[in-house]
Structure 1
């Protein structure tokens, strides 16, 4: 059975791959190589495999080249879109910064004006109390004088009655002995003059009190207008900051309370106003002023918190946004991997700045990142600045927003000069554009 099968297989090979001989002649000697059908089959199969592999590899390379070309075109379009968007965001940020500066100037002017008005209001309150005290003194003096005049009139009437009842010299002598008529008349005249003067002074005091009441009413109206301006300025100032924190996913109540605890020993909330020293209930203006002071305190806490969170762009010079946060094609290996930050491309040596107040926890070389700066901020936030060409800070150094921390470069695992910028909350990487975009309406 095996012999028959072998004979058939050999005959089939002989049909397609007949035995061949390759003659090799060198000098006077001639040799030949015998190529059996099996050998020719193996050679043919190997050649076919090589050719097929070459065709498949060429097709793969062509497809990869075409795909890379499409990917590059798409990347260029995405970069152009990102650049236009960043330019728009930059323009909006400048507009919001101008508006915030104008609102701050209006707020400072209104605050200075209300301080002056409060001083005048306190002075007018003091004058009014002095006038009230003076009027009370005048009224008491007037009542005493009227009683003395009535007593003198009663005494004079009793003297006249006694004179008429006794008659003659005896009545006159008795009257002269008790109270001389001239003295009584002089006392009555003096009392009448004092009464008239007191009445005139009281009328002048009432007129002055009416004028003071009119002035107080005008001052209260001006004070109300200033309050309205301050309330509008506070609304314009606080609302964008609150919106910025909420857009970044940061709980404003917890953050404000944390900042308040940290800064209570250096000022804390503003002291409430009190215009009364008699233990009276606070007036509506006092309550309104205290509400404004609380809002001013909240605004200050918001601004302190904003300085401690990375609501800024690390590159202030012209740059190109080259890679977003999230999964992407690795520029080195071509595979898919997570990109934990955003990339800003500019020329080598471009200054880089801290995006918030904090403490430098790393400044040196780290595998993959190259020259790397890590800054620890409040609220459990950390920022990273990678691939730098030069480091300007040291570990343990305290930096503020806008401080220069280094220069852009191409150190580490890169394909070109750029900054790799990361934001981590509780050790987990988040999209830095959340903070940058959230601050567009404020900074």
Structure 2
């Protein structure tokens, strides 16, 4: 094998590269140096790295402001979003707080109104309490009872969230079907219901007071008419004077005061009529005893001739009680001719009563007598044919029919 073919074969087989020889000629001087392939590769790589680094540095310097600006803008957008979210949450909290404050203020105002209404009802009850005591006999049935408010919770200022449920407990029916309503709406419904209840009580009070006033006047009129029918006139002092004057509108409290004053006036008039009626001789002096002789002309039991019988006789056994027919003062207590043992009572306004033929006198002149008091015992003293009570009623000395008075007393017995 020749050297040339051997050299070409080895080069192809091992791919060996010969080093590069660089020759530099300058004038007569010739220089050369050999550059090996790996040194060339290292140098090229270094140059490429320097170029890339230069390009990157240049790009960074050129784009740095844009990158920083974008980053700052992004941070600013994020901060603005956070601030907007915080502002929205703060506004929402403020709205909720304001709503709660308004709800609380509304509840406090309404609770204050309820407390004021309750105090007004309590004041009304204090006013009408004495009148109801004096008019106890007018309340003959349950429908005459004056309504009073039911006890309510002691609600104070500074309501908290639990007040709604506390108040709602007093009207459980209001909570039915109100699951979708707020506490303030439920409380508002509760206050409306309580107000309606209080207004109903107030209206019922007014109606009952007016009814009692009318009944008091009717009772007084019934007593007066019954006594006037017996010839006993009682000046009640109401409804007899002329009236007039400007119209002055009344608010609710003034109207209640006016109704209470009218009831007081009616009860006062009724008490006056009753007091005067009790002083009149309208009671039966011998209750349960049989009438043996009436008032008027009759045959005299001793002489048999017609004569005026100035009173009426009650048949009774000796010793039976004789009772005063009305309040008054004893003006005679002793023997009085044909009357035998007699008691005479002055009832005022010229009216007197006489109780005669008694076996025993139990009072003395000057004694104050009430209707129904025992003044003596039945007997047969004086001009008498047997034990009985002779009873007379006189006005200014003139004899009147006692039966008329007794009937009037029986007619109004349940009213006085």
TM-score when normalising by structure 1:
0.48
The 5-angstrom pairing of residues 116-265 of structure 1 reads: 117=148, 210-211=192-193, 213-227=195-209, 229-231=211-213, 233-234=215-216, 237-253=219-235, 256=236
Count matched residues: 243
Distance 1:345 1:421, change over 3 A: same
The 5-angstrom pairing of residues 394-409 of structure 1 reads: 394-409=364-379
Give the Cα–Cα distance (whole angstroms) in 1 for the partners of residues 304 and 290 of structure 2.
Answer: 22
Aligned to 2:333: 363
Aligned to 1:104: 137
Larger Cα Rg: Structure 1 or Structure 2?
Answer: 2
Deviations 1:253-280 (A, max 9, x none): 2xx45xxxxxxxxxxxxxxxxxxxxx97
**SS of equivalent to 2:330:** strand
Aligned to 1:289: 260
The 5-angstrom pairing of residues 303-322 of structure 1 reads: 303-317=274-288, 319-322=289-292
**SS of equivalent to 2:301:** coil
Distance 1:407 1:335, change over 3 A: same
Give the Cα–Cα distance (whole angstroms) in 2 for the partners of residues 208 and 103 of structure 1.
Answer: 36
Given the alignment of the two structures, is residue 372 of structure 1 paired with residue 339 of structure 2, yes or no? no
**SS of equivalent to 1:383:** strand
Given the alignment of the two structures, is residue 429 of structure 1 paired with residue 399 of structure 2, yes or no? yes
Q: Are 1:103 and 1:236, in contact at CA under 8 Å, matched by a contact in 2?
A: no
Could you say which structure has the higher helix fraction? 1
Tell me, which stretches of 5 or more residues in structure 2 are unaligned? 1-134, 158-181, 238-249
How far has the Cα of 1:366 moved from its partner? 0.8
Give the Cα–Cα distance (whole angstroms) in 2 for the partners of residues 346 and 103 of structure 1.
Answer: 37
Give the Cα–Cα distance (whole angstroms) in 1 for the partners of residues 222 and 295 of structure 2.
Answer: 25
Q: RMSD of the TM alignment (CA)?
A: 3.5
Give the Cα–Cα distance (whole angstroms) in 2 for the partners of residues 251 and 222 of structure 1.
Answer: 36
Given the alignment of the two structures, is residue 442 of structure 1 paired with residue 412 of structure 2, yes or no? yes
Give the Cα–Cα distance (whole angstroms) in 1 for the partners of residues 136 and 218 of structure 2.
Answer: 7
Q: Which has the higher contact order (CA 8 A, sep 6+)?
A: 1
How far has the Cα of 1:433 moved from its partner? 0.9
How far has the Cα of 1:408 moved from its partner? 0.7
Tell me, which stretches of 5 or more residues in structure 1 are unaligned? 1-101, 132-199, 258-278
**SS of equivalent to 2:412:** coil
TM-score when normalising by structure 2:
0.51
